Structure 1
Amino acid sequence: MPKKLQTIGFDADDTLWHNERFFVLTQERFADLLRDYAEKDHLAERLIEAERRNIGHYGFGVKGFVLSMIETAIEVTEGRVPASVISDLMAAGRDMLAHPIELLPHAQEAVEAVADTHRVLLITKGDLLHQERKLAQSGLGDLFDGVEIVSDKQPDTYARIFGALPGGAGAAMMVGNSMKSDVVPAIVAGAWGVHVPHDLAWALEHAEPPEAPRFRTLIDLGDLPGLVHEIG
């Protein structure tokens, strides 16, 4: 297995730019709209249950989130949710899809630094059109040698993507904020997994850190170039 790194994969949402905070703000709006029907904590529990059920149908991203909010609103009101609330939820979803992109600290510098010496890929999941728009607005698009927008991130996802490149997964690293989607499956596939925690994390992305020699944690992306140099 090659020791030298040849490929660096980056997650997008909450690794390179802010994302989860828009979901949190919209969920606050959701709780306010349904305050006459359910307590905030109970509503949050029902919503996460709906999201868990619906991932297989709607996938990841804003559209699935909005549909899960609408479904939850119908359930907690026993079908009596006002049409105005449904309209407001749909408007909230459109606002999320249109939010401006704000890069996280050191994101651009980190990608630029490793792109000088390695092949760099963007590997993200979610709605195709939305992810393409965010990448275009980020100003980072020209730095990537390839972009993979996938329906989910499993070990075979990384095995397929990295396996098609020189050095395979053994010469690849995946960098992201999600232990469940970015780190653990990449390590299972044979790559390095680098966790860069974000202050906000979706409950369905929780996973325990792996006990693996190819696992690393960084405070922020500013430390990534040094790690890549250290590994080789």
Structure 2
Amino acid sequence: MIYTNTNIKVIAFDADDTLWVNEPYFRKTEEQFYTLLENFLTGHNIERELLKTEIGNLGLYGYGVKGFTLSMIETALNVSDKKINVDIVEKIIQLGKNLLEEPIELLDDVEQVLSALENKFKLVVATKGDLLDQQRKLHKSGLGHYFHHIEVMSEKGEEDYLKLIDRLDIQPEEFLMIGNSLKSDVLPVIQIGGHGIHIPFHTTWAHEVIDTNFEHENFRIAEKITDVLEWIG
């Protein structure tokens, strides 16, 4: 299905797991974390406790590796009844540092799509996470020159997108958001009158998973990022 709307002026891309690999690195780190605490709880129970702690801390730390690392430490203290050895705390801190140093692996055909779109639309990055970390990843990715604007958001709700659209000096119907999270990248944008393309990624953080069969004239699901070019290129 091809977009018939010709008013789209700005295309925003999510970063993590839309432009480059991210969540699999977190999953690898989580598995290492579970191993460190295997004497206290099973991996499944630690996973549940970690997720609960992360969600509880979002309002304080936001999204990103630093908040994730603090949540791992807090979880370790909780499940061990504060009896965790300081050596394990040091190892958890090192897990966080290792996560910050993971290489940037671009997803297939990302640069091809950005190159095809950059002279036709204003391209922006709209992503959640830690500002310093996201800036570092964008710099290491080599993709920064494609984007007119970089927005690192604390949340991705309707009001957040309306503020972004206002800064871009456009109307909601002139805005298209592309990302791997239906919850954060697509639904809020559709609800304010914009357009959304969902590109599912094989690994998604549990907090971003929603169960819904969503249909809307401004919504598309892409199997791969190059599908975008068939619809709007």
What's the TM-score bracket when you normalise by the shorter of the two chains? over 0.9
- Say yes or no: does 1:62 pair with 2:65: yes
| 1:6-155 mapped onto 2 (5 Å cutoff) | 6-155=9-158
Cα distance in 2 between the residues matched to 1:165 and 1:152: 18
| Residues 93-139 of structure 1: per-residue CA shift (max 9 Å, x gap) | 00111111010001111111111200100001110100000000101
Q: Give me the TM-score of the superposition, normalised by structure 2.
A: 0.95
Cα distance in 2 between the residues matched to 1:152 and 1:164: 16
The residue aligned with 1:227 is 231
Q: Which amino acid aligns with 2:135?
A: E
- After superposition, the Cα gap between the structure-2 partners of 1:209 and 1:181, relative to the gap in structure 1 and judged at 3 Å, is farther
Residue 57 of structure 2 aligns to a residue whose secondary structure is helix
Unaligned residue ranges in structure 1 (runs of 5+)? none
Shift of 1:188: 1.2
Q: Give me the TM-score of the superposition, normalised by structure 1.
A: 0.95
Shift of 1:206: 1.3
- Say yes or no: does 1:218 pair with 2:222: yes
- The equivalent position to 2:206 in structure 1, one of 191, 203, 206, is 203
Q: Which amino acid aligns with 1:54?
A: N
- Say yes or no: does 1:174 pair with 2:170: no
| Residues 53-97 of structure 1: per-residue CA shift (max 9 Å, x gap) | 010111001111111111111111111011111100100100111
Shift of 1:190: 1.3
Q: Which amino acid aligns with 1:21?
A: P
Shift of 1:212: 1.8
Cα distance in 2 between the residues matched to 1:209 and 1:120: 28
Moved over 6 A (4+): none
Cα distance in 1 between the residues matched to 2:225 and 2:195: 15
| Residues 135-178 of structure 1: per-residue CA shift (max 9 Å, x gap) | 00101000001111111111111112123435411011000001
Count of residues in Structure 1 that have an aligned counterpart in Structure 2: 228
Q: Which amino acid aligns with 2:156?
A: K
Tell me, yes or no, if the aligned pair for 1:179 and 1:209 is still in contact at 8 Å.
no
Cα distance in 2 between the residues matched to 1:209 and 1:174: 19
- After superposition, the Cα gap between the structure-2 partners of 1:209 and 1:139, relative to the gap in structure 1 and judged at 3 Å, is farther
Unaligned residue ranges in structure 2 (runs of 5+)? none
